[in-house]
């Protein structure tokens, strides 16, 4: 591509791609013009280079890359900007085989994660992204630092909800909160978004500081160097604090599994406080029901959890039978038998921790 003689502003292929809809004024709204608009309005890329890279990934997903190349080749004004000696588009001998290759590529199936776009300004090398979903909290326990429009987690506080959930590591970047992009974020913007979402379950899109090979994601190096200068105590967190003690236990999908014996359930009426456990547990034990595991209850449906003083390895929790109509709902008491008193106590504490960190709204 020919560059300006004085070199004041370097041209990028995106500058020509974004002009394609203007060159084809007769066609109105087309798939190509829609892709250009999406790339132009993407909040996660700020530069021409980033928008061009985003467009190429979008075009691969849409099987439309060849269409964009053909449109460029049919635009005489745009072709004037290409150097015929080194440019594929500016040289007919190169253009034909290149277009044939693009037509083959357009027949392939691509499923590129377009949400993973926040580092396209810097690199084609994309980070590891993950989703962190958690309950509505007064305090998540993540200490944040804003740096050049990015939000870094510089510490995960002990005993906080973020530590209990064991998803976020110190050094990770918050990319989105419940669909709100935080690319190019200003100071305090994460708090503003969280205030708007007060009382609702939260979904964070995180960028992991580690890459697929376990080493550091290279485009983060300049940021982390500045972070260490500004916050001398900052250290990258390699693993979650409790990972070592969990390695010997059964894990599935990153969650602890407990081998319990389900003893049954009994309806305890319209009150679901901890006082009814002293009635509910003996009632279930007298029924001698066959064990069945056929349920899953989120925190908002659990009203209490505990155990009897004379049964250290038995515990129970109460759940609303009809949570959708709380004024008419009664409660069931579900009773379990664990393998030991210590395991029983640990399970109760984990459920109770969920209550502690969950923010309730009536």
Give the CA distances from residue 55 to residues 66, 119, 180, in Å, rounded to whole numbers and listed in that order.
13, 14, 21
Q: Given 188, 219, 245, which residue is the final one in a domain?
A: 245
Asked whether residue 117 is domain-assigned, the answer is no
The whole-number average pLDDT for the span 25-51 is 89
pLDDT of residue 7: 42
Specify which of 52-61, 99-108, 349-358 reaches the highest per-range mean pLDDT. 52-61
pTM value is 0.69
Neighbours of 174 (CB within 10 A): 22
pLDDT of residue 25: 62
Q: Given 192, 213, 245, which residue is the final one in a domain?
A: 245
Of 151-155, 231-235, 304-308, the one with minimum mean pLDDT is 304-308
CB 3 within 8 A of CB 11: yes
pLDDT of residue 24: 65
**pLDDT over 70 (residue 330):** yes
Q: What is the CATH number of the domain that holds 302?
A: 2.30.29.30
First-to-last alpha carbon distance for the chain, in angstroms, is: 62
Q: For 234-249, how does the pLDDT look when each residue is reduced to its tens digit (9 = 90+)?
A: 999 998 876 545 445 5
Residues 323 and 350 both lie in one domain: yes
Residue-range definition of the domain harbouring residue 53:
13-105
Residues 224 and 293 both lie in one domain: no
Residues 191 and 263 both lie in one domain: no
Q: What is the CATH number of the domain that holds 159?
A: 2.30.42.10
Give the CA distances from residue 78 to residues 17, 168, 172, in Å, rounded to whole numbers and listed in that order.
9, 47, 42
**pLDDT over 50 (residue 8):** no
pLDDT confidence band for 357 (50 / 70 / 90) = low
Residue scoring higher pLDDT (354 or 171):
171
**pLDDT over 80 (residue 295):** no
Asked whether residue 296 is domain-assigned, the answer is yes
Give the CA distances from residue 285 to residues 194, 260, 313, in Å, rounded to whole numbers and listed in that order.
45, 15, 13
Q: Given 195, 215, 245, which residue is the final one in a domain?
A: 245
**pLDDT over 60 (residue 230):** yes
């Amino acid at each position: 591509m020919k560059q300006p003689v004085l070199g004041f502003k370097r041209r990028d292929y995106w500058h020509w791609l974004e002009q394609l809809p203007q060159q084809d004024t007769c066609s109105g709204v087309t798939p190509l013009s829609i892709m250009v608009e999406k790339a132009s309005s993407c909040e996660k890329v700020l530069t021409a280079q980033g928008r061009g890279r985003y467009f190429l990934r979008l075009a691969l997903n849409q099987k439309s890359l060849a269409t964009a190349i053909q449109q460029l080749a049919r635009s005489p004004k745009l072709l004037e900007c290409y150097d015929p000696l080194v440019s594929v588009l500016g040289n007919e001998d190169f253009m034909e085989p290149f277009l044939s290759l693009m037509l083959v590529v357009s027949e392939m199936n691509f499923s590129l994660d377009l949400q993973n776009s926040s580092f396209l300004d810097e690199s084609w090398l994309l980070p590891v992204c993950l989703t962190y979903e958690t309950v509505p909290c007064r305090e998540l326990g993540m200490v944040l630092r804003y740096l050049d429009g990015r939000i870094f987690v510089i510490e995960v506080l002990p005993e906080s909800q973020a530590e209990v959930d064991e998803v976020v590591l110190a050094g990770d970047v918050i990319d989105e909160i419940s669909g709100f992009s935080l690319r190019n974020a200003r100071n305090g913007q994460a708090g503003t978004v969280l205030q708007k979402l007060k009382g609702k379950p939260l979904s964070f899109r995180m960028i992991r500081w580690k890459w697929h090979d376990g080493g550091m994601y290279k485009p983060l190096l300049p940021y982390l160097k500045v972070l260490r200068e500004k916050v001398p105590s900052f250290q990258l967190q390699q693993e979650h604090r409790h990972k070592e003690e969990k390695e010997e236990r059964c894990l599935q999908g990153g969650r602890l599994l407990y081998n319990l014996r389900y003893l049954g359930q009994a309806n305890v009426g319209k009150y679901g406080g901890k006082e009814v456990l002293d009635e509910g547990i003996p009632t279930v034990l007298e029924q001698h029901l066959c064990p069945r595991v056929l349920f899953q209850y989120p925190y908002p449906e659990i009203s209490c959890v505990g155990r009897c003083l004379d049964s250290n390895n038995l515990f129970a929790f109460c759940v609303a039978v009809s949570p959708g109509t709380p004024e008419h709902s009664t409660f069931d008491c579900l009773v379990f038998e664990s393998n030991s008193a210590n395991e029983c106590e640990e399970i109760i504490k984990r459920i109770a921790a969920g209550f502690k960190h969950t923010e309730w709204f009536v």
